[in-house]
Amino acid sequence: MRRISRLAFLAVATFGAGCATGGKVNPDEMSAAQHRDQAWRERQEARDHAREYDPHATVAAPLPPVGAPGQGDPAYAPSTYNPTEQHLRQADDHRAHARQHEKAAQALERFEAAECRGFPPSVRAACPLLNPVTRIDDVAGGVRVTFMPGTRVDAVAAHMRCHQAYARARAFEENATCPLYMQGVEFSAVSDSSAIDITTKNQSLIGEVRVRSRGEAVYAHGISP
């Protein structure tokens, strides 16, 4: 069997170091649009904290009594500190987290753009099973979809990759019925045939893959599910 695509929809990358506002950002936690919304909120938080900083709010540091050297207590030099400096650190944390969300959004958008090169938006959203199908058979983990003789299986596979990327960039959040619009679905061409297997390793989703595949397929004239 020739493998065309194996997209597990795990994070392709994480960005930046952990910070107080939530740690590392996984691109697949949310859609590209949601990442950008969260980045905007993080930058608003950063601005709010920055406004709380007062460079003139310096006070004496609350240090323990100064001990004499050699008597068991450390000797501390008199010092001062600014209690509002914490807002500068928090502002930096929020800015860093905003950058992580922005990079996550960009990663999802770049992935969709690469996989959907040549596919207009209306086609990206369409389920690739909207091609003449002659039969759908159950296989381990899902189904085998057989298309009409002469179908460009490579073109169907390219559309599948695009549709998965489209779904991933939207965090699979739409109320879709296409079997590819589910996290963890894989597909591969069957050697020397006009069929593609649509499967998942998630046992709880196999039934849904089968139901959606049969529900979305456009059967060739004279063929019934």
Q: State the pLDDT at residue 8.
A: 32
Tens-digit pLDDT profile for residues 43-96: 999 999 999 998 888 887 666 655 555 555 555 555 778 888 899 999 999 999
pLDDT truncated to tens, each residue of the chain (225 aa)? 434 433 333 333 333 333 345 578 999 999 999 999 999 999 999 999 999 998 888 887 666 655 555 555 555 555 778 888 899 999 999 999 999 999 999 999 999 999 999 898 888 888 887 668 899 999 999 999 999 888 888 888 899 999 999 999 999 877 678 898 888 999 998 887 889 999 999 999 999 999 999 988 877 655 555
| Centroid of chain to Cα 34 | 10
- Contact status, residue 75 vs residue 67, Cβ threshold 8 Å: yes
Give the separation between CA 196 and CA 221, rounded to whole angstroms. Answer: 20
Q: State the pLDDT at residue 64.
A: 61
Strand ranges in 8-100 using DSSP code E only, listed in sequence order: 59-60, 80-81
Domain residue extents for the chain: 27-115, 121-219
All residues at 6 or more sequence positions from 223 whose CB lies less than 8 Å from its CB, including other chains: 133, 134, 135
